[in-house]
């Protein structure tokens, strides 16, 4: 079959659009033609840095590579001074950059810039912890005048120099002072994105949501329920990647599909934080945590339910498991808002019975307010104790569907429990999973049907949480074997079957 050039170009364009849609976008266009809002700039004299509104990245509408505008970086580096210019994606989300290959962006300068005079670049996570600084000159030669040049920095450079930053939760990209040349330089920057990676190497869980899912109220941020979920899931299976697209202030409208047209006065879908973008990861599961903002914005319950129905229908059409976190308590003093919250709560447990995760009971007072021991202090968000309970509720529902654990996880978080191995029966290897309710010494071993120890898998201290060990049968014959978990106050044994 012959393909003409026009058809070939169209195929390539479609293919590239699919690949690009999986990129992490940090900047492509600014909605404001004066400054880019998700940015932060600082300067210490005698160095100089062009800023708008004291700390925002200037935007140029006259010079850009694609779209409508670009970022304008103008600096003068002097001895004794310092400067930095940070950009983030809208909503300042934290992203797992370890699944990407390259950080790329286009630059343009009205004057040539020597490679050695280019800025340094570094990253910052959601806890404001930064990676080591990397010289752009390591990856880029001289910048020619009046020509757009694409710069690529391998993600491996940051993996090799992470400092104390968490590379699974990177929020911002910093350009910073390098050599002190006393020269005023200007770079226009466009199309800043992280690209590449092999999605087939990972199994993705995508979280759509607002400030609770983004971690508000938790301190440190590792205590947030999504981060607890990610950490404990990776203890069991490192091939899972949790992609958190939640942004504070979002409502159900923000996560609608990109082609959705909202009613007048309602926000447009956010193309890099909505369900359309979530589908690009081909996720095993989508978790939606949008607890109270629809009520806070006085959206009718019919609107909210319609939007959730849309999300569920899209997931079902794509054979993706979806979970809807219920309403959460909030200290609304406006009765109409509280009525809307209770209306959504009712739907959470009736209409979405097969999809719901309980984020209400045990956290809410009878009037809908947050129980004081779980209140972060603002009457809106939960503290560390509250986030821990949310993590437990989410894990009890979701983990069994991801990890083939047949046992019910209910109440397992307050106890030490040994789960049935999987697969079972097994051929050459199987997984042994258990949960510890506290940090303690653990002994895990395998015995034959006569009670003789075949293999000691572990004998040392482990932290609270889930743990997984793989047992390889090696040269063992087919038959029944037993695996035993022993702690300071518990001994549990389960049977497994080896078939060769």
Residue 1 lies in a domain: no
Residue 227 sits in a domain whose CATH number is 3.40.50.1110
The rounded distance, in Å, linking the Cα atoms of 440 and 298 is 49
- In angstroms, the Cα distances linking 427 to 61, 236, 419 are 63, 20, 19
Of 178, 195, 212, the residue at which a domain comes to its end is: 195
Residue-level pLDDT at 405: 57
Residues 221 and 165 in one domain: no
The rounded distance, in Å, linking the Cα atoms of 232 and 229 is 6
C-alpha closest to that of 228 among 399, 379, 364, 373: 399
Domain extent for 75: 23-195
Of 195, 227, 254, the residue at which a domain comes to its end is: 195
- In angstroms, the Cα distances linking 347 to 192, 317, 487 are 41, 22, 43
Residue-level pLDDT at 433: 87
pTM of the predicted model as reported, rounded to 2 decimal places: 0.73
Residues 150 and 250 in one domain: no
Instruction: Please state at what angle helix 225-236 crosses helix 384-403, rounded to 10 degrees.
Output: 40
Of 403, 420, 441, the residue at which a domain comes to its end is: 403
Residue 61 sits in a domain whose CATH number is 2.60.120.430
Q: What are phi and psi of 59, to 5 degrees?
A: -120, 140
Residue 18 lies in a domain: no
- Mean per-residue pLDDT pooled into runs of 10, the chain (500 residues): 42 39 86 96 97 97 95 97 96 87 96 95 93 96 96 95 90 96 96 84 91 93 90 83 92 96 95 90 94 97 97 95 97 97 92 91 96 97 96 88 59 72 85 87 93 93 86 89 93 90
Residue-level pLDDT at 416: 85
Residue 7 lies in a domain: no
Residues 391 and 271 in one domain: yes
Residues 54 and 92 in one domain: yes
Residue-level pLDDT at 99: 87
Residue-level pLDDT at 200: 64
Residues 62 and 185 in one domain: yes
Number of domains in the chain: 3
Residues 152 and 268 in one domain: no
Cβ atoms of 114 and 142 closer than 8 Å = yes
Residues 249 and 368 in one domain: yes
Residue 493 sits in a domain whose CATH number is 2.60.40.1930
Cβ atoms of 122 and 174 closer than 8 Å = yes
Residues 84 and 177 in one domain: yes
Residues 163 and 235 in one domain: no
Residue 16 lies in a domain: no
Task: Establish how many alpha carbons lie within 13 A of residue 402's alpha carbon, considering only the half-sphere containing its beta carbon.
Answer: 31
Residue 417 lies in a domain: yes
Residue-level pLDDT at 437: 83
The rounded distance, in Å, linking the Cα atoms of 201 and 482 is 32
- The strand pair at 285-289 and 203-209 is best described as parallel
Residues 237 and 373 in one domain: yes
Residue-level pLDDT at 8: 42
Residue-level pLDDT at 92: 87
Instruction: Please state at what angle helix 335-349 crosses helix 301-317, rounded to 10 degrees.
Output: 30
Residue-level pLDDT at 422: 80
């Amino acid at each position: 079959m012959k393909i003409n050039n026009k058809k070939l170009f169209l195929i390539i364009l479609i293919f590239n659009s699919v690949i690009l849609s999986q990129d992490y976008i940090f900047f492509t266009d600014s909605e404001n033609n004066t400054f880019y809002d998700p940015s932060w700039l600082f300067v210490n004299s005698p160095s100089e840095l062009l800023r708008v509104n004291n700390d925002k990245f200037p935007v140029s509408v006259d010079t850009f590579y694609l779209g409508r505008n670009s970022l304008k970086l103008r600096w003068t580096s002097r001895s004794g001074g310092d400067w930095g210019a940070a950009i983030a994606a809208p909503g300042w989300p934290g992203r797992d950059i370890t699944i990407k290959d390259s950080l790329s962006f286009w630059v343009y300068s009205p004057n040539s810039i020597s490679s050695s005079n280019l800025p340094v670049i570094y990253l910052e996570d959601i806890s404001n912890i930064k990676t080591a600084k990397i010289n752009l000159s390591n990856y880029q030669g001289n910048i020619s005048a009046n020509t757009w040049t694409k710069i690529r920095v391998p993600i491996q450079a940051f993996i090799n120099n992470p400092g104390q930053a968490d590379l699974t939760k990177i929020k911002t990209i910093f350009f910073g002072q390098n050599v002190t040349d006393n020269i005023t330089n200007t770079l226009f920057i466009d199309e800043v994105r992280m690209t590449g990676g092999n999605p087939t190497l990972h199994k993705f869980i995508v979280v759509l949501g607002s400030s609770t899912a983004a971690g508000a109220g938790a301190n440190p941020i590792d205590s947030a329920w999504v981060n607890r979920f990610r950490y404990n899931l990776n203890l069991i299976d490192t091939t899972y990647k949790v992609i958190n697209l939640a942004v504070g202030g979002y409502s159900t409208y923000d996560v609608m599909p990109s082609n959705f047209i909202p009613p007048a006065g309602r926000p447009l879908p956010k193309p890099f934080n909505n369900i359309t973008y979530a589908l690009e990861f081909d996720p095993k599961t989508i978790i939606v945590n949008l607890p109270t903002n629809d009520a806070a914005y006085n959206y009718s319950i019919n609107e909210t339910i319609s939007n959730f129905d849309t999300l569920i229908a899209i997931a079902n059409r794509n054979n993706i498991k979806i979970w809807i976190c219920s309403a959460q308590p909030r200290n609304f003093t406006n009765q109409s808002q509280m009525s809307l919250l209770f209306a959504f709560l009712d739907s959470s447990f009736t209409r979405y019975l097969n999809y719901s995760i309980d984020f209400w009971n045990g956290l809410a007072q009878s009037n809908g307010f947050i129980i004081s021991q779980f209140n972060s202090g603002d009457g809106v968000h939960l503290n560390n104790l509250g986030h821990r309970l949310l993590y437990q509720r989410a894990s009890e529902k979701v983990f069994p569907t991801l990890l083939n654990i047949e046992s019910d996880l209910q109440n397992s978080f307050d106890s030490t429990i040994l789960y049935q191995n999987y697969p079972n029966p097994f051929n050459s290897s199987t997984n042994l999973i258990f949960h510890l309710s506290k940090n303690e010494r653990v002994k895990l071993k395998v015995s034959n049907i006569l009670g003789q120890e075949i293999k000691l898998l572990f004998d040392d201290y482990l932290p609270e949480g889930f743990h997984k060990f793989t047992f390889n049968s090696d040269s063992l014959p087919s038959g029944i074997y037993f695996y035993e978990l022993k702690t300071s106050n518990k001994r549990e044994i389960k049977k497994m079957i080896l078939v060769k």
